[in-house]
Amino acid sequence: MKSATTETDKARWERETLQPALAQSPERAASFTTISLRPVDRLYAPDDLRDIDYGRHINHPGVFPYTRGIHPTGYRGKLWTMRQFAGFGTPEETNERYKQLLRAGGTGLSVAFDLPTLMGRDPDHALSLGEVGKCGVSIVSLADMERLFDGIALGDVTTSMTINSPAAMIFAMYLVVAEKQGADWRTLSGTIQNDILKEFIAQKEFIYPPRPSMRIITDIFAFCSKEVPRWNTISVSGYHIREAGATALQELAFTLRDGIEYVQYGIEAGLEVDDFVPRISFFFNAHSDFFEEIAKYRAARKIWAEVMRDRFGARQERAWKLRFHSQTAGVSLTAQQPYNNVIRTALQALSAILGGTNSLHTNSLDEALALPTAEAATLALRTQQIIAHETGVANVVDPLGGSYFVEQLTREMEEGALKYFESIDRMGGMVEAIEHGYPQREIAESAYRFQQAVERGDKVIVGVNDYVAEEDAPIPTLYIDETVAQRQIDRVETLRRERDHDKVSRALDALRRAATGRDNIMYPLVEATRAYATLGEMCDALRDVWGEYEEVPSI
């Protein structure tokens, strides 16, 4: 403790008020930590914020560095987009789910693809065995994409597609469907995830090695700034990094550092920062530790604004503003007492909203067991609507701004992230860090430490390691039957018989040539899509040129 002459107000409170109280009744634990095992103090007070300058570090919403949000009016102008991620089985089944979500008041679409699609394999490939239509919708060719969006005007909705290694191919299919519907590419809006770095780091759905994978991304940047200027070319994702076991800080740091890497590669490919950076968006996890999450989002906006302006010299405000989607934490859902998941999701959603998310997906209560049923998906959407319209939290911009705790935690998150940037910069960049296995090891370590904390009982998960029920009443779940695979296999066989073979092989040859040289691969991909080349064929053409990436297994 400091001497009496320089004693702060907080120190005096600790001596005069706190110590006698602690002497009478001790606290519940010797120390308290967030879900990321970050220690938190008992109390935050004006003393903690003495060296924070409001105008420079926080500032009003809509003003650099956007700590309090990118819109001056917060959600008073426009609520966040309620974008529910969905996809399963055949394109027709998923199309029906989309129409139901739009009827229920959903304001954007978000496509979940099955694993063969995510890995660029046709349903009749040996590795697709047992996986077709299971974790998302199966999309094999332009024909499936036409079925997926049948009766949905792509000029009027915004669509987010969670696709990474084959993002360019799936995007080409989307563009051709839009074109066939008569929509103008220049007015189309939506997002492709297209974030390959987090695949190497966490989700592990990679096809090509890191460097050609980065080239695909810069080709997409260049193509979109010319042809589809309102499209969000990448959604730099911390979601999967967090789900893989990262702490909130690691999620923040690795995601933003990935974003920096994409900007760096874009510049090296000859693009102008102010042209392509405004189309970069982000995707964060909304986990259970309420204030830590809010601080994470606020820190993310501040860091990005400063890095874009000061490190990359971006001059346009649009390039400084970090926009992000968020999704509640799938990993927090429990198979035990599944109705508890509704509460978890609601609280996580609230943190994302108080952190200023621009769009949000809320998970369904049954997702620790299977993909959601229609009823569970509707309830998840209702959760957002109740927060938006009944709680009043959307009526004031950044209502937690100025909270001693939130501002201090925001600052700590920022400082921690900048330290990670330094380590990664020293390795030569994120691609190099990944090649060394650095973020992968950091995340695996955090995952193990958290699991140990749960088993020791340091972290309570209601219904799992405490408040356990004798037996859970079963809840209805969605079951994907095996006929989906056969139907998709039959379809691709028919397609291969009926289409113009010469046209397909000419288009695939052109694709190989572009990949071998330096031409933008998006143009030959659009041509191959128009010829009804399958996703597997397009991905194979690039496998011929670039080979496949194999991760060295380590624990």
Q: Is 479 in the site for other proteins (CB under 8 A)?
A: yes
Residue 337 is classified by DSSP as S
The structure tokens listed for 38 are 């970050």
Q: Is 486 in the site for other proteins (CB under 8 A)?
A: no
The structure tokens listed for 538 are 């397009």
For 155, the 3-state DSSP assignment is: coil
Q: Is 6 in the site for other proteins (CB under 8 A)?
A: no
Q: Is 37 in the site for other proteins (CB under 8 A)?
A: no
Nearer to other proteins, 158 or 364 (CB): 364
- Cβ at position 98, least distance to other proteins in Å: 21
Q: Which residues contact 303 (CB under 8 A, 6 or more apart)?
A: 252, 256, 414, 417, 418
- Cβ at position 240, least distance to other proteins in Å: 9
Stretch of 27-35, 98-106, 119-127, 310-318 contacting other proteins, by CB under 8 A: 119-127
Nearer to other proteins, 204 or 426 (CB): 204
- Binders of other proteins in range 356-395 (CB under 8 A): 368-370
In degrees, to the nearest 5, what angle opens at C-alpha 413 toward C-alphas 408 and 418?
125
In angstroms, the CA 513 to CA 542 distance is: 10
Residue 192: its H or E element = strand 190-192
Stretch of 279-287, 329-337, 357-365, 430-438 contacting other proteins, by CB under 8 A: 329-337
Q: Which one among 20, 39, 77, 474 touches other proteins, defined by CB under 8 A?
A: 474
Do 227 and 185 touch, CB atoms closer than 8 A?
yes
Nearer to other proteins, 182 or 474 (CB): 474
- Cβ at position 315, least distance to other proteins in Å: 39
Q: Is 134 in the site for other proteins (CB under 8 A)?
A: yes
Report the side by side order of strands in the sheet with 234-237. Answer: 231-232, 190-192, 159-162, 108-112, 81-86, 359-361, 324-328, 280-286, 234-237
In angstroms, the CA 224 to CA 216 distance is: 12
Nearer to other proteins, 331 or 347 (CB): 331
Do 296 and 352 touch, CB atoms closer than 8 A?
no
Q: Is 130 in the site for other proteins (CB under 8 A)?
A: yes
Q: Is 250 in the site for other proteins (CB under 8 A)?
A: no
| Residue window 96-115: x/- pattern of binding to other proteins, with contact defined by CB under 8 A | -------------------x
- Cβ at position 309, least distance to other proteins in Å: 35
| Residue window 167-206: x/- pattern of binding to other proteins, with contact defined by CB under 8 A | --------------------------------x---xxxx
Integer CA distances (angstroms), 213 to 38, 219, 429, 525, in order: 35, 10, 15, 15
In sign, the C-alpha dihedral spanning 482, 116, 511, 216 is positive
Nearer to other proteins, 128 or 358 (CB): 128
- The helix-helix angle for 248-268 and 438-456 (nearest 10°) equals 170
Q: Is 554 in the site for other proteins (CB under 8 A)?
A: yes
Nearer to other proteins, 121 or 147 (CB): 121
- Cβ at position 444, least distance to other proteins in Å: 5
In angstroms, the CA 160 to CA 107 distance is: 11
In angstroms, the CA 221 to CA 237 distance is: 17
Q: Which one among 63, 267, 273, 335 touches other proteins, defined by CB under 8 A?
A: 335
The structure tokens listed for 107 are 């304001």
- Cβ at position 367, least distance to other proteins in Å: 9
Nearer to other proteins, 117 or 158 (CB): 117
Q: Is 129 in the site for other proteins (CB under 8 A)?
A: yes
Q: Is 243 in the site for other proteins (CB under 8 A)?
A: yes
Q: Which one among 347, 394, 418, 447 touches other proteins, defined by CB under 8 A?
A: 447
Instruction: Cite the beta strand spans of 453-514 per DSSP E.
Output: none
Nearer to other proteins, 454 or 545 (CB): 454
For 109, the 3-state DSSP assignment is: strand
Specify burial of residue 309 (Cβ count, 10 A radius: 0-12, 13-18, 19+).
Answer: middle
Q: How far apart are the first and last CA of the chain?
A: 44
Q: Is 552 in the site for other proteins (CB under 8 A)?
A: yes
Q: Is 207 in the site for other proteins (CB under 8 A)?
A: no
Q: Is 477 in the site for other proteins (CB under 8 A)?
A: yes
In angstroms, the CA 73 to CA 343 distance is: 28
Do 417 and 249 touch, CB atoms closer than 8 A?
yes
- Site residues for other proteins per CB under 8 A: 115-116, 118-119, 121, 126-131, 134-135, 199, 203-206, 243-245, 331, 334-336, 368-370, 444, 447-448, 451, 455, 461, 464-465, 474, 477, 479-480, 482, 550-555
